[in-house]
């Protein structure tokens, strides 16, 4: 289904909202009003930790392509901006399919963030012996810092991507979406959550994403905002997820070597003839990709509140509830190379959420 058809679906849904009484997305699907949601207790004294991380952003989108390094085949899979968790299975699948054609023998993966681990697992599933070489392992990767929402956000600039890239993007997003669905559960820390988004709904990227999206009437939700959408999506508790991915990798006889590379010539000396580059922002220095720019994000983690079973994104920032803490975020600082927390920024993030949840009201 095309985006045009999708837009039509959204128009139909909005039109249904104009009906008095029970709103309907279609003749057959009645929509229940949202319950009175429990508010998040956002306050400075509930902050249990703070983190800052650098999103590996490229305006022209992630890089998934085959290159050569002397006699070796090098496959790039990096530059996923603020959507690396979301895109991980999909672009790794594209990279692996490109790379293994005709290859026999062991394989090297550089990087142990979400991209390196997903690539490595797909290679193992395809029957290859894999060694991961990485400067840092979980929990010391950018992937561990991610809030973990499945959403292709802050990933590319529309006027900078090619039609070929768009095709890669849709194929990858589709694969990821399906793959995460079959990983739901405590072991990976992957779950569905209803999400409330302030403002105008973005153009959907897949015919079925985000599912069950609908604009709410003001008497259907407690948020003190003018326009609100609701949809369902998947959330990943990144620490738990990456721990389990490391276990899966080890359980399939994966080998890990902790080592940093300063130049491609060092990579060319590895014994493996097929190498995957999953170094994220590291590709800026390692492969001279100057388009790769950090977008710094800072997060405040609050004491967990198990009763919070919804997520929010909007003017105040974003709130993702996880068993390891309530994630409050919303900073996008372009070109900042220091992965350091700024207390003033954290204070602003907490204050904006405190104001939002402090004005929560229950629908009459």
Ligand X SMILES: Cc1cc2nc3c(=O)[nH]c(=O)nc-3n(C[C@H](O)[C@H](O)[C@H](O)COP(=O)(O)OP(=O)(O)OC[C@H]3O[C@@H](n4cnc5c(N)ncnc54)[C@H](O)[C@@H]3O)c2cc1C
| Site residues for ligand X per CB under 6 A | 53-56, 78, 80-86, 110-116, 134-136, 141-143, 145-149, 260-261, 278-282, 286, 297, 299, 329
Q: Which is nearer to ligand X, 60 or 218 (CB)?
A: 60
Q: How far is the CB of 68 from ligand X (least distance, A)?
A: 19
Residues 145, 246: Cα–Cα separation, whole Å = 16
Q: How far is the CB of 183 from ligand X (least distance, A)?
A: 14
Q: How far is the CB of 267 from ligand X (least distance, A)?
A: 8
CA of 265: how far to CAs of 90, 258, 314, in Å?
29, 18, 45
Q: In this structure, are strands 317-322 and 190-198 parallel, antiparallel, or unpaired?
A: unpaired
Q: Which is nearer to ligand X, 23 or 114 (CB)?
A: 114
The answer to whether residues 293 and 169 touch, using CB atoms and an 8 Å cutoff, is: no
Whether the CA torsion 127, 133, 139, 141 is positive or negative: it is: negative
Q: Which is nearer to ligand X, 64 or 286 (CB)?
A: 286
Sorted by sequence, the CB contacts under 8 Å of residue 185 that are 6+ apart come out as 191
Residues 322, 301: Cα–Cα separation, whole Å = 10
Q: Which is nearer to ligand X, 80 or 345 (CB)?
A: 80
Q: Which is nearer to ligand X, 26 or 181 (CB)?
A: 181
Pick from 25, 23, 38: nearest CA to 310: 38
Q: How far is the CB of 206 from ligand X (least distance, A)?
A: 15
CA of 47: how far to CAs of 108, 211, 298, 364, in Å?
40, 32, 13, 32
- What separation, in Å, do the N-terminal and C-terminal C-alpha atoms of the chain show? 39
Q: How far is the CB of 295 from ligand X (least distance, A)?
A: 8
Q: In this structure, are strands 228-236 and 63-69 parallel, antiparallel, or unpaired?
A: unpaired
Q: How far is the CB of 78 from ligand X (least distance, A)?
A: 5
Q: Which is nearer to ligand X, 25 or 143 (CB)?
A: 143
């Amino acid at each position: 289904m095309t985006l045009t058809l999708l837009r039509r679906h959204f128009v139909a849904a909005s039109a249904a909202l104009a009906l008095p009484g029970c709103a309907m997305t279609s003749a057959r699907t009645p929509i229940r009003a949202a319950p009175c949601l429990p508010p998040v207790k956002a306050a400075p004294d509930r902050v249990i930790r703070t983190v800052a991380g650098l999103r590996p952003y490229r305006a022209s989108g992630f890089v998934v392509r085959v290159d050569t390094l002397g006699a070796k085949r090098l496959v790039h899979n990096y530059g996923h901006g603020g959507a690396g968790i979301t895109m991980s299975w999909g672009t790794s699948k594209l990279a692996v399919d490109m790379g293994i054609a005709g290859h026999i023998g062991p394989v090297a993966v550089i990087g142990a963030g979400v991209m390196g681990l997903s690539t490595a697992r797909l290679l193992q599933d395809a029957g290859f012996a894999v060694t991961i070489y990485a400067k840092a392992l979980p929990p010391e990767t950018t992937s561990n810092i991610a809030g973990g929402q499945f959403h292709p956000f802050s990933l590319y600039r529309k006027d900078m991507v090619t039609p070929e890239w768009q095709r890669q993007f849709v194929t990858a997003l589709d694969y990821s979406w399906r793959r995460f669905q079959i990983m739901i559960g405590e072991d990976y820390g992957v779950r569905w959550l209803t999400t409330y988004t302030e403002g105008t709904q973005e153009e959907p990227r897949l015919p079925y994403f985000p599912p069950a999206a609908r604009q709410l009437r003001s008497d259907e939700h407690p948020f003190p905002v003018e326009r609100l959408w609701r949809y369902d999506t998947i959330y990943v508790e990144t620490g738990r997820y990456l721990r389990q991915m490391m276990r899966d990798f080890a359980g399939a006889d994966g080998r890990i070597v902790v080592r940093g590379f300063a130049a491609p010539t060092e990579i060319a000396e590895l014994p493996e003839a097929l190498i995957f580059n999953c170094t994220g922002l590291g590709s800026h220095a390692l492969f001279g990709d100057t388009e790769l720019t950090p977008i710094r994000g800072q997060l405040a983690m609050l004491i967990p509140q198990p009763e919070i079973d919804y997520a929010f994104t909007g003017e105040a920032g974003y709130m993702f509830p996880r068993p390891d803490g309530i994630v409050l975020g919303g900073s996008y600082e372009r070109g900042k190379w220091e992965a350091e927390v700024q207390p003033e920024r954290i204070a602003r993030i907490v204050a904006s959420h405190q104001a939002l949840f402090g004005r929560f009201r229950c629908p009459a």
